[in-house]
Amino acid sequence: MSEELAPHAILSDSWSVKEVVADLKADIVGHLDKQDLTLSEISTKVDSKADKADLIAIGFKIDGHGERITTLEQHRLEQVASTQFRHRVWAVIGTVGGILAILAGSLIATFVH
**Domain count within the chain:** 2
Domain with 107 in it: 65-113
CA–CA distances in Å: residue 82 to residues 53, 60, 72, 95, 112: 42, 35, 15, 20, 44
Q: Is 2 within the bounds of a domain? A: no
In a domain, 24, yes or no: yes
Question: Residue 7: pLDDT above 60?
Answer: no
Of 49, 73, 92, the one marking the end of a domain is 49
Q: Is 1 a residue whose pLDDT tops 50? A: no
CA angle 35, 36, 41 (to 5 degrees): 95
Q: Is residue 60 part of a domain?
A: no
pLDDT tens digits for 67-98?
Answer: 777 888 999 999 999 999 999 999 999 999 99
Distance of CA 9 to the CA centre of its chain: 60
> Residue 4 — φ and ψ, nearest 5°?
-85, 135
